[in-house]
Amino acid sequence: MDRRQSLSYATLLLLLLSLVLSSSSSIAAAFRDHSTVSYDEKFAPLFAEFNIKHHEGGDGVDLHLNRHAGSGFISTDMYNYGFFSARIKLPGNHTSGIVVALYTSNGDVFGKTHDELDIEFLGGAPGRPWRFQTNLYGNGSTSRGREERYTLWFDPTKEYHRYSILWSSRSAVFYVDDVPVREVIKSEEMGADYPSKPMSLYATIWDASEWATGGGRYKVDYKHAPFVARFKELVLDGCATGPIRQAGAASECGDAHDELEATDRASMRRFRQKHMYYSYCYDVRRYPAALPECVINPVEKQRFKESGRLRFGGGHRRQRRKRSGRSRGSSPGVEAM
């Protein structure tokens, strides 16, 4: 093979490789590979920079909450669909009133018509574990929360676990470690309530004493401060549409949609049967007519009360309903429970 020939072989190989890479979903690959990005390159402080402590080696940051402030960071780019992920270790002990969130949003750009995909941890009442929920908004649909709550099969304060959001034009999937826990399929029924504009990734810790635990009964106890939520191995794999100030610029992004495989669906079903203890779809008090995308499974429905909460088990004390305004960056979501 002469030099010219081998060069053209090399070109052909490169071409093939790039075809393969662009046609197969790079997002799915990212989930398997967990190819991480550097905090310094891709993120910036959102608020209270003095409460953001960089890990040695630069693989992430600790977000502190103390008497003075919580803290948060934001990706400097916005993404039109993508895979967003972090390994998180939550503060342990005396967590009431605290909210830790990993979410995508464009609330800073589209005030009244913002989109959001939320992974949120709400501090527990004294002696109780963290509570974990997912939620979403589209085009400013803040009057229609779509919260689901679940127990976890591990203690999120003991070790890091990966929490992820896979967002495409067709569906949004939330993951805990490798387990898909919720799939929201974009449907005609949901209309613009499905997030569709470029979003940034946010992470925050903040004081939500007013509502987060027992409807405000248990406040943050600063005797035990600082509260530290640790974030590392951040993944941002999507179509960047540029910095926030240029949001809305037309993008040429492909949409890396990836169907869940049958085994993923099976593990999602198992997770939901075992761990979901609240669903907005079964909360008849809040939504006398279920929101249009809800597929009511009559057998499953029997397991839930009118409040959308599991009839048996869960072991969570019932609390009075109370709702308060939005706070720093993230949504209070469903009434405290």
Ligand X SMILES: *[C@@H]1O[C@H](CO)[C@@H](O)[C@H](O)[C@H]1NC(C)=O
Give catalytic residues, as residue numbers: 116, 120
Minimum CB distance to ligand X smaller for 211 or for 231 = 231
The amino acid that residue 322 corresponds to is K
Choosing from 139, 251, 324, 327, the residue that interacts with ligand X (CB under 6 A) is 139
Minimum CB distance to ligand X smaller for 77 or for 193 = 193
CB of 141 to ligand X, least distance (A): 9
Written as six digits, the tokens of 88 are: 């998180």
C-alpha span between 241 and 81 (Å, rounded): 10
Minimum CB distance to ligand X smaller for 92 or for 314 = 92
C-alpha span between 233 and 215 (Å, rounded): 33
Residue sitting closest to ligand X (CB): 92
The amino acid that residue 301 corresponds to is K
DSSP 304: B
Minimum CB distance to ligand X smaller for 9 or for 154 = 154
How do beta strands 276-283 and 227-243 pair? unpaired
Minimum CB distance to ligand X smaller for 92 or for 216 = 92
The 10 Å CB-count burial string (b at 16+, else e) for 313-326 is: ebebeebeeeeeee
CA 40 distance to own-chain centroid: 21
Residue 251's alpha-carbon distances to 81, 102, 113, 239, 248, in angstroms, are 11, 25, 20, 8, 8
CB of 229 to ligand X, least distance (A): 11
Written as six digits, the tokens of 287 are: 């939504």
Phi-psi region of 217 (alpha: psi -120 to 50; beta: other; left: phi over 0): alpha
- Burial group, residue 147, by CB count within 10 angstroms (0-12, 13-18, 19+): buried
CB of 302 to ligand X, least distance (A): 35
CB of 293 to ligand X, least distance (A): 15
Minimum CB distance to ligand X smaller for 44 or for 291 = 291
How do beta strands 77-89 and 71-75 pair? unpaired
Per-residue contact flags (x/-) with ligand X for residues 283 to 302, judged by CB under 6 A: --------------------
Q: Among 20, 27, 67, 29, which Cα is nearest to 48's?
A: 67
Near ligand X in 141-170, by CB under 6 A: 157
User: Is residue 187 close enough to count as binding ligand X by CB under 6 A?
Assistant: no
Q: Among 292, 33, 27, which Cα is nearest to 173's?
A: 27
Choosing from 92, 226, 248, 314, the residue that interacts with ligand X (CB under 6 A) is 92
Choosing from 23, 93, 246, 297, the residue that interacts with ligand X (CB under 6 A) is 93
Choosing from 35, 76, 113, 187, the residue that interacts with ligand X (CB under 6 A) is 113
- Within 10 Å of residue 250's Cβ, how many Cβ atoms? 7
Choosing from 14, 192, 249, 266, the residue that interacts with ligand X (CB under 6 A) is 192
Count of residues interacting with ligand X (CB under 6 A): 7
CB of 140 to ligand X, least distance (A): 6
CB of 138 to ligand X, least distance (A): 8
* Residues in touch with ligand X (CB under 6 A): 92-93, 113, 139-140, 157, 192
